[in-house]
Amino acid sequence: MVDSILAVQNLTVRYGKHEVLSKISFTVEAGDYIGVVGPNGSGKTTLMKAVLGLLPLYEGKITFHPQLAEGHFIGYLPQKAVSSDRLFPAKVKEIVSIGLLANKKEPKFFSARDYERIDAILERLKIADLKDKKIGNLSGGQQQRVLLARAMVNSPQMLILDEPTSALDPQIREEFYELIEGLNRDDGVVVMVVSHDVGSVGKYTKKMLYLDRRLVFYGGYDEFCHSQEMTEYFGFLAQHQFCWGHADGKHDQLDR
Ligand SMILES: Nc1ncnc2c1ncn2[C@@H]1O[C@H](COP(=O)(O)OP(=O)(O)OP(=O)(O)O)[C@@H](O)[C@H]1O
């Protein structure tokens, strides 16, 4: 347990009398890339908020590895972060610089080193050419990369992405997942990505965490696809759809 990056033990969350997460326990290990999946309202965002320390009240325990518990170590890309407002005046470099503010004490000035970090992350995410463009004028995929750069500019050890590709078309979505896979593989960033899209996510992530207010499944995608327990939970056809796609391509919505 001590060696885990993160240990969640018996986490229960209620909004008023409504219990939305019930006794969730799992650990996240170094190098993990986890798809957090489940139907609408199953508690995915709530779980991520609990991990991020954004919930004032919960039962259970959330423990980070002691070396991680110092400073700002989680990058977060929230749900529906893409701006559709073309008049929004902020430039890409300004949006990304916001990611550096959390670690700064007053007065919050940017140093030459900060500007180097902004340039480095824009380069890493292949959007250096967009640096001086207004975010409202970018495509959905470009905007997501900019927001990913904001989440990554502090070099976090862990990245939490909530439905990062829901507004993107299939090709851009695949490119985005490939980018995240590279951050996990090459830069060692631990990733938790929330999605409805079990098929796409399962292709890239190393583990699946399936929520339905309780923890239904936690393990590898292959195991998820071949588990008898999951066949009983979903039914054979639904499991087949999640795992091997569907001829009409409608395999990615999981609303039940
Ligand atoms: N601030 C809140 N106050 C009251 N209820 C809430 C609040 N946030 C979420 N809920 C409820 O908690 C449940 C879980 O919501 P949550 O957003 O965590 O689910 P989700 O799996 O992320 O859903 P989706 O896939 O639709 O984004 C839902 O029934 C939701 O209506």
Q: Residue 196 — very low, low, confident or very high, per pLDDT cuts 50/70/90?
A: confident
CA 215–ligand 1 middle distance (angstroms)? 16
Task: Kindly give the number of the ligand 1 atom that is closest to the alpha carbon of 38.
Answer: 21
Burial class of residue 7 in the structure, from the number of CB atoms within 10 Å of its CB (0-12 exposed, 13-18 middle, 19+ buried): middle
The best mutation among 13, 15, 193 to test binding of ligand 1, ranked by most ligand atoms within 8 Å of the C-beta, falls on 15
Supply the residue whose CA is at minimum distance from atom 9 of ligand 1: 46
Report pLDDT digits (tens) over 33-82. 999 999 889 999 999 999 999 998 889 999 998 877 665 589 998 876 65
Ligand 1 atom showing the smallest separation from residue 16 Cα: 4
Residue 84 has pLDDT above 80, yes or no: no
Minimum-distance ligand 1 atom for the alpha carbon of 47: 18
Dump pLDDT digits (tens) for 213-241: 999 999 998 888 888 888 888 887 777 77
Locate 40 and state its tokens.
């609408």
Residue 172 tokens read as: 């851009």
Q: How confident is the model over 194-209, as a mean pLDDT?
A: 86
The answer to whether the CB of 122 falls within 8 A of the CB of 92 is yes
Please give the structure tokens belonging to residue 53.
């320390």
Query: Does position 254 have pLDDT exceeding 50, yes or no?
Result: no
Q: Which residues contact 16 (CB under 8 A, 6 or more apart)?
A: none
| Residue owning the nearest CA to atom 7 of ligand 1 | 15
Can you tell me the ipTM of this complex?
0.97
Q: Which of 11, 37, 44, 57 to mutate to test the pocket of ligand 1 (most atoms within 8 A of CB)?
A: 44
Highest mean pLDDT out of 1-5, 31-35, 65-69, 85-89: 31-35
DSSP structural state of residue 134: B
Domain 1-73+190-256 has CATH 3.40.50.2000: no
Q: Specify the pLDDT at position 246.
A: 40
- Residue closest via CA to ligand 1's atom 31 equals 41
> Measured in angstroms, how far is the CA atom of residue 185 from the centroid of ligand 1?
31
User: Which atom from ligand 1 is nearest to the alpha carbon of 196?
Assistant: 25
**Residues, the chain:** 256
CB 78 within 8 A of CB 67: no
Q: Over the stretch 109-161, which tens digit does the pLDDT of each residue have?
A: 788 888 999 999 999 899 999 999 998 889 888 898 999 999 999 889 999 99
In the structure, which protein residues have their CB atom closer than 6 angstroms to any atom of ligand 1?
15, 20, 38, 40-46
Which residue's C-alpha comes closest to atom 2 of ligand 1? 15
- Rounded to the nearest angstrom, the distance between the alpha carbon of 131 and the centre of ligand 1 is 35
Span from the CA of 17 to the centroid of ligand 1 (angstroms): 13
Q: What is the 104 CA–ligand 1 centroid distance (Å)?
A: 32
Average pLDDT of span 12-16: 94
- For residue 46, what pLDDT is reported? 96
By alpha-carbon position, which residue is closest to atom 4 of ligand 1?
A: 15
